[in-house]
């Protein structure tokens, strides 16, 4: 079919029309190949403008539309919808940005601005010629959801979704749900009893007809994508049948084995057959396989005997690990946190001095269902302490352990101090802190209450603790910053407020889910501000402390948010996916012959599978369309739809057709650098008009060949820019696209050096969407350098480099 | 050049002062602060937050009390390393001519004799009584002088002497 293009130049009032001669631009466009009609109009985005396009599509039988107006980041969706309404595929549309990147930033040099606008229109028409129709992918959605982790966050997410009518599978590693919260005594700042408020919720989970609970279970593996995850769950044997056990505890009395109880912070003891705590859900006992004298072959079996004697038959030694498979449409990760091991900080003597304990151990001592039934005692002699010190920030806010602030330790320390003071008002309590973080509702008031009740706060991080070997009392050495003096304080008991750290095994789960962790080790959200609940993989959501340390109210809010985000998918029958995904030409893929597999290692989303002797395969539903694989494929077998090699090369050719040695060709990523360039225009920052931008979704899409081809065609300068990449991390919208771009451009630099291209003619930069000034500055610098080098030298270098570059690019030039 | 050197040192110290969040673990760990209440390394560093240009530091002899035991670096949650900072402050003070006289005398003694403390007739008599061999005077002093000249220490010391004489 003949390609018939319509080009529309927008005046945007005087925004464009005041600087550029739009009529002349339309006249120029009308002479470009395949252009059937070219018009200019005051406001293309207004209804009459859109109607004009629709009318022309019918009248001139147009099958491609190009609009030269504002940034595609502004009105691309508007015009896509417009051409779709006229019966064209919405991807048969292309935009030339002559406002943000021409008239708004080059109003001081209208003649050069006009040349730039011509180039951009020419490039857009060139790309339009090669556009292909695309339809959004639709995947069916399983109306079920998996929640991993049964702490307070997981419980709330599960209940919310179950109440909405979705089937929920709740997987918990421990034999009971409830998490840390079930083990706490009271909660801050209201001092309501922790289990009293959580217990009923735990029972709700067990009773809810839409929730299937898997305790003592783990996620084995996960396959699939948004709407269609296949999950295998390993159910470990309890050796006690949950339905038959009535928790009478007769078995515990006869069990001969005693081991430390980790649910009591190892301060108390439990038997080999046990229940984690009285309010556990499901309310059933289980046998600890490692502690039991022997199950296969059976060594003791006393528990079974007594259970049968009492008329029950709950104990079953023939249980085996079971693997179950479920299909879900979305996954919520609520795996929570662990506590830092303070024995790593030698100067505090945890594990050496008996009377140095952790906050969690105190939490169990103070809890009436704990090992001492709520009596706080010194581990060395069982006596009640008269003088107690808390030390804050043990393992957090510390470059040597964890850099971040654990957030909730200040508040639980204040809570425990108040509880101690209320039980035994004569106890002297000291809290050593660096800063007190009390920044939510009622927290500051709670902090004041603690001071009013006589708790002494000392600003200063203790240097060390020493023990009196006879009394087992402890002396803390610390600078009191208020006094500016070093003090030594003898106390009976020291409590360390240990940092919250990511779960052991979080990396393994991250691999299974294909999500990433941040520099702090907690799971990373897709965007810190606007997608704080979504993980990088579509259909996976984060809540609670798995995403970073947080207290109960914050965890619960996040759990409800995660439930709502998941319901956004689950409530639909089909989920639509942008079709700008990667596509593999199986005949070109080298994997069957050479075991290549490079694409799979580059994909940040695990969307590509590579099996031996088979061509690589893309799962479109997992692909986010960054194009990194397409750029790194050594066989050029991968195409990113709507940003194909041919389309981008056609833009490069169009831009560099005339006087290439005077131009700076810029490859800018859509989310940051292109937006940054737009911002330079919006802020009316002027910069030299030699720059011409080619928009790609991600800097990871920029193929080596694009840069080399630009120089082969005689480009003066080339800039590649992506989202910010610093030593602190990457802002890339495709996680690691810019990291891959950086690696690739290092190779390009070497090739250019060999080709004899001056080093300063190629530049790699990281420009964020807010750095319009940086973009303008960089273009200014590059233009100055280009002037310094001189046209002659550039032409001479290019002439010499051409044969060398041609050799490398042989396969691309057709 | 000396001014530039001073500014650079000052900037390095200030950067550390900016990072410090004033927890005081260094002071609690410091063996000098334990016996001398006046010596507070945290406060010495904190003062640099407000020094905008190369000042006469007027820190007296305090920074020279640091033993460089590195206990503070071992425990500092922000890896500031006050021992290293104290070296920089001492260097800055040296450039400013704020050196404790005892320290300056020791340096001069080394340049002159190659020893920290002079060999007096009392020492010689005592050694004789103890049947110890006689001390050879001026061991390796020439080589030492060369080193001190090459490293620029001599020039620095000399110019300060000049300044003191003229001022």
Q: What pLDDT, in 10s, does the model give residues A484-522?
A: 999 999 999 999 999 999 999 999 999 899 888 888 999
The C-alpha angle with vertex A662 and arms to A660 and A668, in degrees rounded to 5, equals 75
State both tokens at A631: 């750029």
pLDDT(B50) > 90: no
Does any CB of chain A come closer than 8 Å to the CB of residue B37?
yes
Q: Which of A34-48, A670-684, B67-81, B113-127 has the lowest mean pLDDT?
A: B113-127
Does any CB of chain A come closer than 8 Å to the CB of residue B47?
no
Q: What is the CATH number of domain B2-96?
A: 1.10.1060.10
Average pLDDT over residues A465-492: 96
CA–CA distance, A39 with A11 (Å, rounded to integer): 11
Subunit contact A481:B33, Cβ cutoff 8 A:
no
* Tens digit of each residue's pLDDT (9 = 90 or more) over A446-466: 999 999 999 999 999 999 999
CA–CA distance, A139 with A275 (Å, rounded to integer): 44
pLDDT score at A309:
93
Sorted by where each starts, the structural domains of chain A and their CATH numbers stand as 1-136 (3.40.50), 144-235+331-336+511-574 (3.50.50.60), 250-319 (no CATH), 339-501 (3.50.50.60), 581-632 (3.30.70.20), 643-814 (3.40.50)
Signed CA dihedral, A782, A783, A785, A789: sign only:
positive
* Tens digit of each residue's pLDDT (9 = 90 or more) over A798-809: 999 999 999 988
What 3-state DSSP class applies to A299? coil
A443's CB contacts (< 8 A; 6+ apart) are A188, A189, A411
Subunit contact A435:B77, Cβ cutoff 8 A:
no
Alpha helices, H only, B81-140 = 82-96, 101-113, 121-129
DSSP A100: I
Distance from the Cα of A187 to chain B's closest Cα (Å) equals: 28
Chain B residues within an 8 Å CB radius of A480: 24
Question: Which is nearest to A501 in space by CA: A517, A520, A528, A519?
Answer: A520
| Best of A348, A404, A486, A488 to mutate (most B CBs within 10 Å, chain B) | A486
Long-range contacts of A473-478 (CB under 8 A, 24+ apart): A473/A355, A474/A349, A474/A353, A474/A355, A474/A356, A474/A389, A476/A389, A476/A391, A476/A432, A477/B28, A477/B29, A478/A432, A478/B24, A478/B25, A478/B28
Of residues B37, B75, B79, nearest to A485 (C-beta): B37
Length of chain B (residues): 167
Chain B residues within an 8 Å CB radius of A393: 23, 77
Chain A residues within an 8 Å CB radius of B37: 485-486
Distance from the Cα of A387 to chain B's closest Cα (Å) equals: 21
Q: Percent of chain B, pLDDT > 70?
A: 86
Does any CB of chain A come closer than 8 Å to the CB of residue B56?
no
Average pLDDT over residues A173-194: 96
* Tens digit of each residue's pLDDT (9 = 90 or more) over A342-398: 999 999 999 999 999 999 999 999 999 899 999 999 999 999 999 999 999 999 999
DSSP codes, A179-205: TTGGG-SB-TTT--BHHHHHHHHHHHH
Q: Which residue of A has its CA nearest to B77?
A: A398
Chain A residues within an 8 Å CB radius of B75: 347, 463-464
Domain boundaries, chain B: 2-96, 101-166
Q: Can you name the residues that pair with B83 across neighbouring β-strands?
A: none
Of residues A347, A481, A485, nearest to B75 (C-beta): A347
CA–CA distance, A794 with A761 (Å, rounded to integer): 9
pLDDT score at B162:
61
CA–CA distance, A644 with A628 (Å, rounded to integer): 12
Subunit contact A481:B24, Cβ cutoff 8 A:
yes
């Amino acid at each position: 079919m003949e390609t018939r293009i319509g080009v529309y130049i927008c005046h945007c009032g005087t925004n464009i029309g005041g600087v550029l001669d739009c009529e002349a631009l339309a006249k120029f466009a009308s002479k470009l190949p395949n252009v059937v009609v070219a018009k200019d109009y005051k406001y293309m985005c207004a209804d009459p403008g859109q109607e004009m396009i629709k009318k022309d599509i019918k009248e001139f039988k147009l099958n491609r539309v190009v609009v030269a107006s504002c940034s595609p980041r502004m009105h691309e969706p508007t015009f896509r919808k417009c051409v779709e309404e006229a019966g064209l595929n919405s991807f048969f549309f292309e935009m030339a940005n002559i406002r943000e990147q021409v008239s708004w930033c080059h109003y001081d040099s209208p003649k050069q601005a006009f040349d730039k606008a011509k180039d951009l229109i020419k490039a857009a028409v060139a790309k339009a010629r090669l556009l292909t129709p695309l339809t959004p992918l639709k995947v069916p959605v399983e109306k079920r959801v998996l929640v991993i982790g049964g702490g307070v966050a997981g419980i709330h997410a599960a209940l919310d979704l179950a109440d909405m009518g979705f089937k929920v599978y709740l997987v918990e590693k421990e034999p009971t749900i409830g998490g840390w919260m079930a083990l706490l005594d009271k909660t801050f700042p209201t001092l309501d009893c922790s289990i009293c408020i959580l217990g009923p919720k735990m029972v709700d989970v067990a009773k809810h007809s839409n929730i299937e609970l898997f305790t003592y279970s783990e996620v084995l593996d996960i396959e699939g994508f948004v709407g269609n995850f296949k999950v295998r769950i390993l159910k470990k044997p309890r050796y006690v049948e949950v339905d038959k056990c009535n928790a009478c505890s007769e078995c515990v009395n006869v069990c001969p084995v005693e081991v430390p109880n980790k649910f009591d912070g190892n301060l108390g003891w439990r038997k080999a057959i046990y229940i984690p705590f009285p309010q556990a859900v499901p309310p059933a006992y289980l046998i600890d396989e490692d502690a039991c004298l022997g199950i296969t072959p059976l060594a003791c079996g006393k528990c079974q005997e007594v259970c049968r004697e009492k008329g029950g038959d709950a104990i079953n030694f023939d249980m085996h690990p079971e693997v179950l498979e479920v299909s879900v449409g979305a996954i919520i990760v609520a795996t929570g946190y662990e506590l830092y091991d303070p024995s790593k900080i030698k100067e505090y003597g945890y594990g050496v001095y008996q009377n140095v304990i952790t906050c969690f151990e105190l939490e169990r001592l103070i809890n009436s269902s704990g090992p001492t039934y709520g009596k706080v005692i010194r581990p060395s002699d069982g006596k009640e302490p008269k003088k107690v010190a808390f030390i804050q920030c043990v393992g957090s806010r510390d470059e040597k352990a964890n850099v971040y602030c654990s957030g909730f330790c200040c508040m639980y320390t204040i809570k425990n101090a108040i509880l101690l003071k209320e039980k035994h008002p004569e106890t002297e309590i000291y809290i050593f802190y660096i800063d007190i973080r009390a920044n939510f509702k009622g927290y500051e008031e709670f902090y004041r209450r603690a001071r009013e009740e006589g708790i002494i706060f000392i600003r200063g991080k203790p240097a060390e603790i020493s023990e009196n070997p006879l009394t087992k009392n402890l002396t803390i050495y610390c600078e009191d910053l208020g006094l500016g003096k070093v003090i030594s304080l003898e106390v009976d008991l020291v409590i360390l407020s240990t940092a919250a750290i990511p779960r052991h095994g979080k990396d393994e789960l991250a691999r299974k889910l294909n999500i990433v962790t941040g520099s702090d080790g907690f799971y990373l959200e897709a965007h810190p501000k606007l997608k704080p609940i979504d993980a990088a993989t579509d259909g996976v959501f984060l809540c609670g402390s798995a995403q970073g340390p947080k207290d109960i109210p914050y965890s619960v809010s996040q759990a409800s948010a995660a439930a709502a985000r998941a319901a956004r998918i689950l409530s639909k029958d089909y989920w639509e996916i942008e079709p700008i995904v990667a596509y593999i030409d199986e005949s070109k893929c080298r994997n069957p012959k050479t075991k290549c597999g490079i694409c799979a290692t580059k994909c940040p989303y695990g969307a590509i599978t590579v099996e031996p002797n088979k061509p690589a395969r893309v799962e479109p539903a997992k692909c986010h369309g960054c194009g990194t694989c397409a750029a790194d494929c050594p066989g050029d077998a991968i195409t990113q739809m709507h940003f194909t090699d041919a389309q981008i090369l056609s833009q490069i050719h169009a831009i560099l057709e005339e006087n290439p040695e005077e131009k700076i060709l810029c490859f800018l990523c859509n989310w940051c650098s292109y937006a940054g360039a737009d911002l330079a225009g919006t802020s009316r920052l002027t910069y030299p008009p030699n720059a011409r931008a080619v928009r790609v979704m991600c800097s990871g899409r920029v193929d080596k060949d694009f840069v080399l081809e630009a120089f082969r065609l005689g480009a003066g300068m080339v800039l590649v820019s992506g989202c910010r990449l610093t030593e602190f991390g990457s802002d890339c919208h495709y996680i690691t696209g810019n990291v891959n771009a950086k690696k690739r451009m290092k190779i390009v630099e070497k090739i250019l050096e060999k080709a004899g291209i001056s080093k300063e003619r190629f530049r790699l930069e990281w420009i964020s969407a807010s750095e319009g000034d940086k973009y303008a500055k960089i273009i200014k610098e590059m233009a100055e350098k280009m002037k310094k080098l001189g046209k002659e030298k550039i032409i001479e270098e290019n002439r010499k480099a051409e044969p060398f570059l041609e050799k490398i690019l042989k396969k691309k030039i057709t | 050049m000396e001014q530039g050197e001073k500014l650079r040192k000052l900037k390095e110290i200030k950067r550390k002062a900016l990072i410090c969040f004033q927890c005081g673990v260094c002071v609690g760990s410091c063996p000098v602060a334990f016996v001398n209440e006046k010596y507070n390394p945290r406060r010495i560093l904190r003062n640099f937050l407000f020094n905008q240009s190369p000042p006469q530091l007027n820190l007296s002899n305090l920074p020279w009390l640091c033993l460089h035991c590195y206990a503070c670096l071992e425990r500092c949650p922000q890896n500031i390393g006050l021992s290293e900072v104290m070296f920089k402050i001492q260097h800055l003070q040296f450039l400013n001519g704020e050196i404790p006289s005892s320290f300056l005398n020791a340096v001069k003694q080394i340049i002159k004799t190659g020893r920290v403390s002079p060999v007096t007739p009392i020492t010689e008599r005592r050694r004789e009584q103890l049947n110890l061999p006689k001390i050879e005077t001026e061991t390796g002093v020439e080589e030492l002088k060369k080193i001190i000249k090459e490293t620029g220490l001599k020039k620095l010391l000399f110019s300060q002497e000049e300044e003191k004489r003229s001022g």
